Structure 1
Amino acid sequence: MSCYRAVFIAVMVATALNSHSAWPQVHNRIIDSLKRRLMLTPADTNRTRLLLQIGQLYYDHYKVDRQDRSYSDVRKQPDLLDSAIGYARQVVGLPVATYQLPQKAEALYLLAECYSFGESYDSIRTISYYQQALKAFKQVGSKPRTARVLHSLANIVRLRIGAQQALPLFMEELAIQQSYRDTTIYLTLERIGFLHQTMGNYQLALQAYQQSLRLAEHSNNLSYLEDIYADLAMIYETLGDYQAAITILKKRLGIESPKAINQVAGDHIRLLNLYKITHQLPQARQQALTIIELARQDPNHESINLTSYLAQSYVFLGQYERAEPLYKHLFPIYEKSNNFTGLTNFNKHVGELYWLTRRFEQARYFYQIALTASQQGRFPDEAVSIHRALFQIDSAQGNLRSALQHFQLATAINDSLFNQTKNRQFEELRTQYETEQKDKDLHLQNQRIQVLSQQQQLQTQQSQQDRLVRNSIGLGAFMLLLLLGLTYNRYRLKQRSNQQLQHQHELLQAQQHQLQAQHQELQAHQQVLHTQQNQIHHKNQDLQRLLDEQERLMKEIHHRVKNNLQVVMSLLNSQASYLSDNAALSAIQQSQHRVQAMALIHQKLYQAQGIARIRMDDYIQEVVAYLQESYELPQPIGFAVQVEPIELDVIQAVPLGLIINEAITNALKYAFPNGRTGRVSLGFMRMGETSYELTIQDDGVGLPPDFDPSRSQSLGMTLIQGFSDQLGGQLSIISQAGLTIQLTFSEKELTSFGSHNHYGYH
């Protein structure tokens, strides 16, 4: 069984036993186990696979936390996504051979997924990584994975760029799915229909929805059927086929599946409006009564949508005195909303109430708000109906000039919509003709492929049947022997178990008499212990409150320190924009790297469970990744990082992080001149119970022959020696076949640079 399959089974078992406590514990044990294996695995395909598995497990862990926790709780664990990104970047950064391309493709897709949501959200990086993953999967030849990447890329392009650019991506996904007969092709057709609907191509959208529905009816996916029925009803309503929309909505209501009250009431309000348009007033009245019955399940009107539907039902039934308080209840909520669709519809409904009760000034006020929202949201069809309502109000009040203006505006917008519809219908006919021509060509090509496939199947069918007979005979003999062996083994185990049970029974009888005497003695002590436990419990509660308050204050301090360091980095960056001297710019950049190394410490502190211990494996990985990205050298520089899962006090983590920052910065700036390629290795190992060793090595040009590190006046070397002294460690710098910096220190040894009672930067 492969390592990947073993990890998958373990995660599935943890999920099955879970719940919210079992999953993280099992998940963390699996991750720690893979990290230990990673330290012993050389740089080959197995190492690449382990890096990818660890990154995927961190990403899965984040998704589970995102589902099971509130948004505020998830924000406390951004290190899960950061860890997933760090391991995926290691896979992408490795020199990839042909046989490692599938792992690189998966790592690129994982990076795109990580940057697509959470605090790490970055749409530009998301699109870039999706495009790189798409290219890699095409090279691998994996059609299902290619289709999946296309689907994700098309969705992000639709949201960030537009439907026009996303449509070709969905069409390419559809073609790939058709080539290998994907059973979920109806989901892609629904997306294509939605894009056509967004662009106003209603006939093409209707065709895509109908094709999707025909395929989905065989899948027994009730949730999706509800969604596609809703889309079809909206298209039919837009095209003016109200009876078809009514029929579709009835089918949607007839699906037997768990539904929210809001959803059911929403379908009934749509039916009510459609019956009003088609003048089927008894049926409309029945829908209003049904909504009132559903609203009784929400007596406090906590649901905004359900309350709005109830108010509309009362208006239709002429019970205006019941509708008005509901609208007043909703008004403060909608007043703060930035949803132009909701603002337009709500204020139209309120304006209709005041129009029907002949309170014209109040009706005008709400219709004007609805008009402004429709203009901001670019809803010209809504603007037409609002202008017509304002025309009626002005006519009723005798404001003829204003009424004429509203009538002219409604006519002009309606004429513009009519011309757009005609142009869109012409474009749809042209697109439909081109699509039919392509479908005919594809049909002829598929027929040729089917003929060739049938010939090949006839040739291989006979050989497969012969092979099946031989395999069946061998498998039957093997299963028979296995069954006999298992039966004999079970017989021997049963005999041995009976003997052990008899012996244990005798021992239990002897122990039972002893336990009875001990039980009486324990009952006497139990009362005394109970009193003492109550006292201890009260003291523990007081101590816990003090500890929680202390930890909260410490995390707030670390958070503010991290924010202040980010301000320092921003100031340095602003100062750099005014400098032209390369030496000054380099000094600014090195200062930014040092500040980032310290800021990352404080970020880890206020995100971690504790307040004074840093997990050095995750921290060092992120520092190395940050420096690797900061120095975009033209030549490839490989990185090998091996860090044991060690936790250090913040007093030692800060100087250690700054030493790593200085050493890697010097290697990237000076070790590989003139486009020279090379490799940088970093190791942080536990040498004893409280002693550690840091090794940073590169295979670059090394130090000049006459260079004495102990007498160097360079800031970087001075900082390395100073922070080594602060750690109370032994520093050695060896320049042979490159440069090796080795630091050995103990956790208990701190110099006057810092102590556990005082924390500062020196």
Structure 2
Amino acid sequence: MVKQKILSILVLLMLFQHNSFAQRADRMVIDSLLRLLPTLKADSAKVNLYAELMLAHVYYKPEQGIIYKQTALELAQTLNWKPGIAKIKHRAARLYWRMGDFKNALNYHNEALGLYQQTGNQHAQGRVLIEIGQDYFDNGNLVEAKPALLKALQFNKALGYMDNMAKAYDIINYLYLVQGNVAEATKAAFDYLKLSEQLGDKSSIGNAAYLLASNYQALGNTAEALKYYKQSLQLAVERGDKIDQIDCSRAIGKIYLSEKNFAEAKSYYSPALVLALELGDVQIIANMYVCMGHYYRARGQFSEALANYLASEEAYKSISHKLDLARLYSDIGSVYTSLGKYREANQYFTEAKSLYAGLNSQLSMGDYYSGKEKLDSATGNWSSAYLHYKKYITIRDSTYNKETLQKLVGSQLQFENEKKEAIAKAEQEKKDLLTKEEIKRQRNIRNASFAVLAAVLVFSLIALYQRNKLAKEKKRSDQLLQDKELLLREIHHRVKNNLEVVSSLLALQSAQINDEQTRDAMQESQNRVQSIGIVHQKLYQGANLGAIEMKDYFINLSESILDSFGAEKRVTIECAMERLDVDIDTAVPLGLIVNELLTNTLKYAFPEGQQGKVKIKLHKKNDGVLQLEVSDNGVGKSGITHGTGFGGQLVSLLTQQLSGTMKEEVNDGTKIYFEFKTGKAA
């Protein structure tokens, strides 16, 4: 579930092409450049003006900006001015990138890079290297994007171009998010923030806060995400940057919408739409109408959703944003499906598919395939619905266990198809046999014996054939079970990895906290997360996917807690118990209980560096009751069984969850006993 959330958020971020904070050109700036253009002579100054005019159109109307490319290039080439030719090709590349034409964007970026190398413009080389990586990334080609971006980062680091480095970290953050590596993404975001602060760029500082919010959103921590989004929004308000205010409001509204908090979502969407209309920027207005469409669609108000979607359609057409238009057509098709207007829905899905084909951007087509599957299901076209659903799943899970998942689906389909073919073939053979027998019964008595013999022979052959076929089917079934077990182990592995990420983030956060009490609370939370992570580690490493071997688990847990307190040399922990397998529903609460008891013991039982020993016992009685004992030879102060702290409350709640009882004995140390009526062994 967490992976699915992570992936849906990350793909959406990639499709926005990480330009939420880039400045769009003002119409007045473009008008002033156009007024100045006829007054200039055909020299290098005019080439530079063309370059500025093209740049001003990147975030305004890129399809209009590309019109100046040929004239500007011819002038620069006539002047034989290589820096000017490089600049015009560079601007053309960015215009093509903004239009979603990544093939032309890459071609022009590479040509500009070669010219910048010839003219010795290293700063421009560093920027183009970053933008080449961005071309690959926004086209969904992560294999090429990562090495290109890392190469660009190293190039700019070596030359000390901090502004280029900040841009690189911005995009690398999104790259790691799409790959599911939230820890590396967060590191890149913090590097971006640090550089932005050194540069004194308040806009970039706000952007970095926006990225950190996105990372927390990817982890499912919407509270922290909202905190940083609102921080970024406040910075935008202070700067008077309406565009950034709109972007932050849109992100905040999306979180509230995902939580079904419609009132809060609308409280951010509606002012953002008003700001967009005040700005008069066609794309921003279109984006906000799409958000309002999503809002009404989530509430089941499909007519209102359709009205908002249609309001954004002409806007996207006017600025040639084909990628945005393709996604919009998929949304409109889905709404028409919900309204029962299947013919209109199909028309819009056809338009969306045509646009995607021209863009060659497969990673963006998740909404299209999902919507098409629902339309096919609604119209009874089950085979097509299945194919579209399969494509949707492939895109959704492309960065998580892709090979294993495809192998599993392929094996299952092959197994089902061959099974159907075998049954159909057997039925046909039986029909043929009955026909032959009917003919033989009509023959004379002299051939009767031969007919019976032939029938017995045919039946024997069929039985042998069926036996072989069943053996093959059993083999395929066993393979399918192995594949499913492999997938289950991978799921536990992923959960363990994600818990390690959460633990790392807690450690990172606690390192920045000066208050000792708060830092201790963060440390305890980290230990609790690690205790659960060890459970999932034991599951995917063990032979039995349904149970945990508790002695080995307690040993690993004890070592982890001792390490976190730095108490390995003065405190020993003994697991005085036999091997015992316990199901995961019991193992997780048991692990958390022991974690709390060991934490409490290490904090209070051995003051001032005192040496000590802790003993853990767990065994299962004949009646199925689990008995747990944790004892120490410390100073005899525990109170966890009747404490009011969070740890004591947690132990009490977990004991109740396992239908257990708990008692404490203080005599030459502390002993705590538990009995649990749960505890079925797997």
TM-score when scaled to structure 1? 0.36
> Higher Cα Rg: structure 1 or 2?
1
Higher RCO by CA contacts (8 Å cutoff, separation 6 or greater):
2
